[in-house]
Chain A
Amino acid sequence: MRIIGKASLVGVAVSVTAMFVASEALHSQETGFDHSSLMGDGPASSVLGDCVTCHTDASVLPDAHVPATGMSLTECRACHSPETTLSLRGTMPLDHSHALAGVGCASCHGNDDAATMSEPATQVCQACHGSLDELAAATADVMPTNPHSSPHGAPYTECSLCHMQHEPSQNFCASCHDFEFDLP
């Protein structure tokens, strides 16, 4: 499966009106949750739709939100279409989006054992997201410039320069340019 469409990396269910409040809360949140409990049996995604399992000290979803437990990323997107203002691009760490889409720790790290995990190579990402050329084509019209194709060559497209899984993504290019990007 290749995932390079606009509808790829985003989405979790929260109510329309409370979305911005909720997403702000997400970013500033210290969950106090011991993530190692996700590593043992079963995929991390089994608990992720159930936000309060981890986010114990704050309500992530607004009161009026439909129950999200067990929802997949596709189901979240029924409301949170990435093409619309409801898109949650950049509002939760990418590991959440991945887990909701059924891509748990082992899918990228090869195992569920935190002790022996290491950073996956760019090729791991490309197995699903396609070659650099395909990526570059998908974002060819992004302004102010194509983030996946620069004069600096392939070394500057290592995914984890910009797309972080377990912390907010960062605009690597901005260390030298004034390019503003809205990063998944």
Chain B
Amino acid sequence: MGTSDNSGKTTHMTRRALLGTGAIAGVAATLGGPGAAAPRAMPDSWDEEVDVVVIGSGFAGLAAAHEAQKAGASVALLEKMQVPGGNSIINGGVMAVAGSDQQAEMGIEDSADVMLADMLKAGLDLNHVALARTVAEHSVDVYRWTVDELEVEYKDRLTHMGGHAVPRAYSTSNGSGSGIIVQQLAKLKELGIEPRTRTLLKHIIRDGDGRVKGVEVREKHAFRDPESGDPRTIKARKAVILATGGFGNDPAFRMMQDPRLTDELDTTNQPGATSEALREAINIGGILIQPSWIQLGPWTSPDEKGMGMAPSFVQGTTASYGVWINTETGERFVNELADRKIRADAIIATGNKAIAIADATGFKYAKGRGTKVDRMLEAGVLTEYATLEDMAAAHDVPLEPLKATIKRFNTSVDAGEDSDMGRYLQADQFKLVDGPYYAVRLLPKVHHTMGGIGINAETQALDVVTGDPISGLYVAGEAAGGVHGASRLGSCATTECLVFGRIAGQNAAAEENWG
């Protein structure tokens, strides 16, 4: 039997029982063995046929499925884990919007251009500008879409995230990305689509004519066993959309991109944030771009697992209303509102000897905004000290320099300008004067992977040989590279994933059927 493969040549196929049953024709024999890099051949027949196959059930995948279905396409929505939502459902629910009504009400001047400038600055100008611009320019309408179409509820108060020129971040009412995901899932259900969980994308099928024509999946897949599940082929008459997220929880792949990020490093990501879908996209000729830019979160603590509770206090309170201290010098070591890369690098430069502190007023402020400070105290993530002296002793901080640091900070607050670090001072900035003092130890954890498959602003995946779009393949969300360059600004991913997910869904539905 001869079947054309991706290279356009004819390859002789053999059926192999171990590779599955039924419609799967087999695999081109290669020196590397059946698992090694080689595109999967077209099957003799398909087990199932739809217009658009969406892989991944985070912000991007659900938005893509939503738009594709609304445009009249039939959709298969696949998710390898037992639960939908990926990193999106555990995300902090913070979303950047430039030029919102809320900003206007608060008298904050902002625009897509200012947001773009912030993204490029944090990204060290490595961002693919057309992609970053698309995010900034669509931020207002994607926000409106979440309100009008999805009925997502947000808090009234905007947050000022690190690296942003102005407060522009909305927060979901429940303080979690689940506030958006649960609404996306509910609306999709009304449209007749439910994610098929425990369904792993194994192969993207790209025909000899260069077009992507379907996928091979594993149903009833058990995440802990990569080879598990029953094989099934799904024909995608119009397109396949890869919305499979990042690879923050894949130490092996991570280390190939940045050997320092070993499996000893913790991560904030869900267990399924692994690379196999990206590898498959590379395997069929997608180009991987900027994969070494991996973001560490600067607000995590060694005293708990994963993301945990620390970030809400460290970022939400100490970065605006407290200070971060190098415990060896007693001095501040970074602008606490700088972007994540600068801050994480700065913490690492202290030898991870850094604490984030607030005083009694800061603690009250944190409580007021719903931070779970009591649970943090109980869990030992946050510690309380009656006096500055006690805190210094507990963390081995030289007392006099620490006192001098706090004094300088307070003088800065009076002067309305941060002389040490040039930090943006809040309208209601208060001085650090009242005990008890509170501290969180800082230790960066792997948080976001900026690299991914190269795409254009229409979310078409780009071919590694020609640089042109791969017909029939779209990539959206964290799986795509280039939007954020060297470092993603907080709150920009939610916006990005929803914006590009929608674009991918609309474009996929508009494709001509290939057969």
Contact = CB atoms under 8 A, between A and B. Distances in A.
Interface residues of B, number: 24
Interface string A152-166: 111110101100000
A161 B82 contact: yes
B175 to A, nearest CB: 6
A147 B90 CA distance: 15
A144 interface: yes
B84 A155 contact: yes
A152 B178 contact: yes
Interface in B85-133: 85, 89-90
Contacts of B378: 144
A66 interface: no
Contacts of A42: none
Given A144-B379, A161-B83, A152 B90 contact: yes
Nearest to A179: B305
Contacts of B178: 151-153, 155-156
A154 B182 contact: yes
Contacts of B185: 155
Contact of B181 (A144, A155, A161, A175): A155
A151 B175 contact: yes
A175 B304 contact: no
A177 interface: yes
Interface string B291-319: 00000000000001111100000000000
A153 B181 contact: yes
B513 interface: no
Contacts of B90: 152, 176
A178 interface: yes
B246 to A, nearest CB: 15
B268 to A, nearest CB: 8
A145 B120 CA distance: 40
B307 A151 contact: no
B15 interface: no
Contacts of B89: 152-153, 155-156
A177 B82 contact: no
Nearest to B85: A155
Contacts of B270: 175-176
A67 to B, nearest CB: 39
Contacts of B379: 144
A151 B375 contact: no
B159 interface: no
Given A153-B182, A154-B182, A155-B181, A177 B175 contact: no
A145 B304 CA distance: 15
B271 interface: yes
Given A144-B375, A144-B379, A176-B270, A152 B176 contact: yes
A182 B484 CA distance: 42
Given A152-B85, A152-B90, A156-B89, A176 B307 contact: yes
Contacts of B411: none
A130 B307 CA distance: 32
B174 interface: yes
A145 B379 CA distance: 11
A121 B90 CA distance: 23
Contacts of A145: 375
A120 B270 CA distance: 25
A169 B85 CA distance: 22
Contacts of B174: 151, 153
Interface string B166-192: 000000001110110110010000000
A144 B380 CA distance: 13
Interface in A106-160: 144-145, 151-156, 158, 160
Contacts of B305: 176-178
Interface string A28-41: 00000000000000
Contacts of B304: 177-178
A158 B182 CA distance: 13
Contacts of A158: 82-83
Nearest to B174: A151
Contacts of B176: 151-153
Nearest to A156: B83
Contacts of A154: 182
A21 B81 CA distance: 36
Interface string B371-405: 00001001100000000000000000000000000
A156 B181 CA distance: 12
A145 B185 CA distance: 25
B249 to A, nearest CB: 10
B181 A177 contact: no
Interface in B238-276: 270-271
A154 B174 CA distance: 13
A161 B198 CA distance: 12
The listed residue with most B CB atoms (<10 A of its CB), out of A145, A160, A161, A176, is: A176
A177 B85 contact: no
A176 B308 CA distance: 8
A152 B172 CA distance: 12
A152 B81 CA distance: 15
Contacts of B82: 158, 160-161
26 contacts: A145-B375, A151-B175, A151-B176, A151-B178, A152-B176, A152-B178, A153-B174, A153-B178, A153-B179, A153-B181, A154-B182, A155-B83, A155-B84, A155-B85, A155-B89, A155-B185, A156-B89, A156-B178, A158-B82, A161-B83, A175-B271, A176-B270, A176-B271, A176-B305, A177-B304, A177-B306
- Can you list the 6 inter-chain pairs with the closest CB atoms, starting with the nearest? A153-B178, A151-B176, A153-B182, A178-B305, A176-B306, A152-B178
Interface of A: 144-145, 151-156, 158, 160-161, 175-178
